[in-house]
Amino acid sequence: MVSIGCLGPNTSFNAVDNFYYYNFINGSTGATSWSWDFGDGSPLVTTQSASHTFATAGSYNVCLTATNSCGSNTYCDSVHVCPNIPVSSYTNTSNGLNGVFTNSSTGTPATYTWDFGDGTTGTNSGTFLHTFPSPGTYNVCLTATNGCGIDTYCQQVVITCPAPTSSWTSTNTNYNYSFTSTATGGINWLWNFGDGTTSTVPNATHTYTANGTYTICLIVSNSCGADTSCQTITVSCPTPGAAYTFTTNNLAATFTDATPTTPTSRLWDFGDGATSTVQSPVHTYTATGTYTVCLTTTNACGSDSTCNSVLIWVADLENLDNSNFEIYPNPAQNFIQINSLENSPFSASFFNLQGQLIFETKTSNGQKIDTHSLAKGSYIVLIKNEKVTSTRKLIID
């Protein structure tokens, strides 16, 4: 007796995807009909091979049932629908040791992993700053991952870090200086003005308090290093000086400011308690005598003073006080001596007829006084000791 067997079909398939769209290729043998179940609730498909578009991402259990007259056989396989496969990408710029990285990956990655090539990692998703430890070339990689897959993108990132270069200029008015940084590459500044004071602004102003030579240094730094530049300046703020001339006419004196510069203010002290601030005043005294007249001038750098003895007298040479002292010879040429009724030391001050002091000396009875430097003309000699004051006329011929 011969037994005849009836074999059912052998069922299999392959899937080729394009995001949501799949082609299913039937690999079954011995079948006469087929039924596809895509696992997403869609209607069954009875073609030998099938194509199907899934509505949403996810995992689906796709089954093919193959049938012939002897029976049926079902083969199932899991299909993972992933329309957004990640593509990793980034751009970068650098400034010194600082790298600015911008993540430009596509495919809706869920996570990111950065490897900066210097032993550090990160998980940043947007634009961010990373500081490298030193200049060099770093292999920086970004790995983007989601449920559909993983992708890694790497670049060779070159980090250069030049140190800054320090330089500066300055201008001044008297003690007031303006310092301007012309440095390049700096992010921090430190000025040392050479007088114990400092500043940290890029462009600084400073007021010195005294004349002198100062060494000014500017230290400029960034994350890559520092540089120093120094210059020596001479600070000079001249005071105005003070000088004047004068003439007298009886009790009136005319003072003319002869200061070599232009001071900002003046103060005259006429020696009798009166003062003035005009440039060249006229002052009338109330009594004859010798007055110490001082002129003080001031500018932004300070003050100067000068004082002179001014003889105020009424112009009557023939009726001067002749008591107590006698000048011999008179007229004179190269020397005189003053004889006194008293034997005590005395002073002799020689004035011209404008009341200007020519010279003065300490002397005693009968001692010679050198007069060879006096020009020919008439002079008034004011003689004083501890007890009396006398004025005498002297003629030099």
**Peptide linkage before 329 cis (omega within 30 of 0):** yes
Any bridge partners for residue 393, and if so which? 380
> At 139, which amino acid appears?
N
Class of residue 24 by CB neighbours under 10 A (exposed 0-12, middle 13-18, buried 19+): buried
Contact indicator for 90, 153 with CB cutoff of 8 Å:
yes
Question: Which CATH superfamily is 90-159 part of?
Answer: Immunoglobulins (2.60.40.10)
Q: Which residues contact 316 (CB under 8 A, 6 or more apart)?
A: none
Q: Indicate if 319-396 has the same CATH topology as 168-235.
A: yes
CATH entry 2.60.40.10 includes domain 13-81: yes
Q: CATH says 168-235 is which class?
A: mainly beta
DSSP line for 129-196: EEE-SSSEEEEEEEEEEETTEEEEEEEEEEE--PPPB--EEEEEETTEEEEEE--BS-SEEEEE-SSS
Class of residue 266 by CB neighbours under 10 A (exposed 0-12, middle 13-18, buried 19+): buried
Q: 211-249: buried (b, 16+ CB within 10 Å) or exposed (e) per residue?
A: eeebebbbbbbbebeebebeeebebebebbebebebbbe
CB hemisphere CA count around 323 (13 angstroms)? 4
- The two tokens of residue 375 are 């020009």
Report the SS3 class of residue 318: helix
pLDDT in the model for residue 315 = 60
Chain centroid to CA 162: 21
Sequence ranges of the domains in the chain? 13-81, 90-159, 168-235, 244-312, 319-396
User: Residues in the chain with pLDDT < 70?
Assistant: 1-5, 314-323
Contact indicator for 227, 164 with CB cutoff of 8 Å:
yes
CB hemisphere CA count around 29 (13 angstroms)? 2
pLDDT in the model for residue 2 = 47
pLDDT in the model for residue 1 = 44
Cα–Cα distance measured from residue 292 to residue 269, given in angstroms and rounded to the nearest whole number: 8
User: pTM for this one?
Assistant: 0.49
Class of residue 6 by CB neighbours under 10 A (exposed 0-12, middle 13-18, buried 19+): exposed
CATH number for the 319-396 domain, one of 3.20.20.80, 3.30.300.180, 2.60.40.3080, 3.30.420.40? 2.60.40.3080
Long-range contacts of 46-54 (CB under 8 A, 24+ apart): 49/13, 49/23, 49/24, 49/25, 50/24, 50/26, 51/21, 51/22, 51/23, 51/24, 52/21, 52/22, 52/24, 53/20, 53/21, 53/22, 54/20, 54/21, 54/22, 54/81
pLDDT in the model for residue 321 = 55
Indicate left, alpha or beta for 10 from its phi (over 0: left) and psi (-120 to 50: alpha): beta
Q: Which residues contact 10 (CB under 8 A, 6 or more apart)?
A: 28, 29, 30, 66, 73
Contact indicator for 324, 341 with CB cutoff of 8 Å:
yes
Any bridge partners for residue 124, and if so which? none
Q: What's the fold here for domain 244-312?
A: Immunoglobulin-like (2.60.40)
pLDDT in the model for residue 317 = 55
- The two tokens of residue 365 are 């009875």
Report the SS3 class of residue 319: helix
